[in-house]
Structure 1
Amino acid sequence: MHYADTSRGRHYSKDPAVVKYAGRYWMYYSIPSHLDGREPDGWAIGIAVSDDLTKWERVGEMAAEQPYEANGFCAPGAIVLDGAIHLYYQTYGNGPKDAICHAVSHDGIRFERNRTNPIFSPTGNWNNGRAIDADVIVHQGKLFLYFATRDPLGEIQMQGVATAPLDSGFGAGAWTQRCEESILKPELPWEGQCIEAAAMCKREGKLLMFYAGAYNNCPQQIGCAISFVIRREAFLYGLVSQAIPNLPD
Structure 2
Amino acid sequence: MSTAWNNPLIEQRADPQITRVDGRYWFTASVPSYDAIEIRSADSIAGLSSATPKVIWHKHDSGPMSFHVWAPELHRMAGRWYVYFAASERDDIWKLRMYVLECQGDDPLTGEWIERGQIATPEEGFSLDATPFEHGGRRFLCWAQKSPPTESNLYIAELANPWTLATEPVVITRPELAWERIGFHVNEGPAVLKRHGRVFIAYSAAATDANYCMGLLWADEHADLLDPASWHKSPTPVFATDEAASQFGPGHNSFTTTPDGATDLLVYHARNYRDLIADPLNDPNRHTRVQAFGWRTDGFPDFGTPVADGLYAL
User: What residue in structure 1 maps to residue 156 of structure 2?
Assistant: 161
Q: How many residues align?
A: 223
Q: 1:82 to 1:157 in 2, by over 3 A?
A: same
> Structure 2 matches for 1:87-126, cutoff 5 A?
87-92=83-88, 94=92, 97-105=95-103, 106-109=106-109, 110-115=111-116, 117-120=117-120, 122-124=121-123
**C-alpha displacement at 1:89, in angstroms?**
1.1
- Aligned partners of 1:207, 1:123: CA distance in 2, in Å? 25
The answer to whether the Cα contact below 8 Å between 1:101 and 1:118 also exists between their aligned partners in 2 is yes
User: What residue in structure 2 maps to residue 217 of structure 1?
Assistant: 209
The amino acid that maps onto 1:147 is W
1:244 aligned onto 2:235: no
Q: 1:198 to 1:247 in 2, by over 3 A?
A: farther
- Aligned partners of 1:62, 1:247: CA distance in 2, in Å? 42
1:28 aligned onto 2:28: yes
Query: TM-score by structure 1 length?
Result: 0.78
Q: Pick one of 192, 196, 219 that aligns with 1:204.
A: 196
- RCO greater where, 1 or 2, for CA within 8 Å and sep 6 or more? 2
- Aligned partners of 1:68, 1:21: CA distance in 2, in Å? 31
**C-alpha displacement at 1:114, in angstroms?**
3.7
Post-superposition Cα deviations, 1:45-71, rounded to whole Å, max 9, x if no partner, equal: 221212111121123123325552211
Q: 1:162 to 1:143 in 2, by over 3 A?
A: same
Query: TM-score by structure 2 length?
Result: 0.63
Q: CA RMSD in A?
A: 2.5
- Aligned partners of 1:75, 1:175: CA distance in 2, in Å? 23
User: What residue in structure 1 maps to residue 18 of structure 2?
Assistant: 18
Q: Pick one of 141, 147, 150 that aligns with 1:151.
A: 147
Post-superposition Cα deviations, 1:122-164, rounded to whole Å, max 9, x if no partner, equal: 324xxx6222011111012222111101123x22111011211
User: What residue in structure 1 maps to residue 79 of structure 2?
Assistant: 83
1:184 aligned onto 2:176: no
**C-alpha displacement at 1:183, in angstroms?**
1.2
- Aligned partners of 1:188, 1:247: CA distance in 2, in Å? 24
Post-superposition Cα deviations, 1:81-128, rounded to whole Å, max 9, x if no partner, equal: 23332211111354663221111222122452344x1123x324xxx6
User: What residue in structure 2 maps to residue 130 of structure 1?
Assistant: 126
**C-alpha displacement at 1:76, in angstroms?**
1.6
The amino acid that maps onto 2:113 is E
- Aligned partners of 1:65, 1:44: CA distance in 2, in Å? 6
Post-superposition Cα deviations, 1:8-66, rounded to whole Å, max 9, x if no partner, equal: xxx41111122223432110111022xxxxxxxx4322212121111211231233255
- Aligned partners of 1:68, 1:194: CA distance in 2, in Å? 24
Larger strand proportion of the pair: 2
The answer to whether the Cα contact below 8 Å between 2:140 and 2:158 also exists between their aligned partners in 1 is yes
In structure 1, the gaps of 5 or more residues are: 5-10, 34-41
Secondary structure, in 3 states, of the residue corresponding to 2:179? helix
Q: 1:236 to 1:190 in 2, by over 3 A?
A: same
Post-superposition Cα deviations, 1:137-194, rounded to whole Å, max 9, x if no partner, equal: 1012222111101123x221110112114xx3x244x532331xx2101122211111
The answer to whether the Cα contact below 8 Å between 1:130 and 1:150 also exists between their aligned partners in 2 is yes
**C-alpha displacement at 1:78, in angstroms?**
2.5
User: What residue in structure 1 maps to residue 135 of structure 2?
Assistant: 139
- Aligned partners of 1:198, 1:247: CA distance in 2, in Å? 22
The answer to whether the Cα contact below 8 Å between 1:103 and 1:112 also exists between their aligned partners in 2 is yes
Q: Aligned residues: percent identity?
A: 21
- Aligned partners of 1:187, 1:248: CA distance in 2, in Å? 25
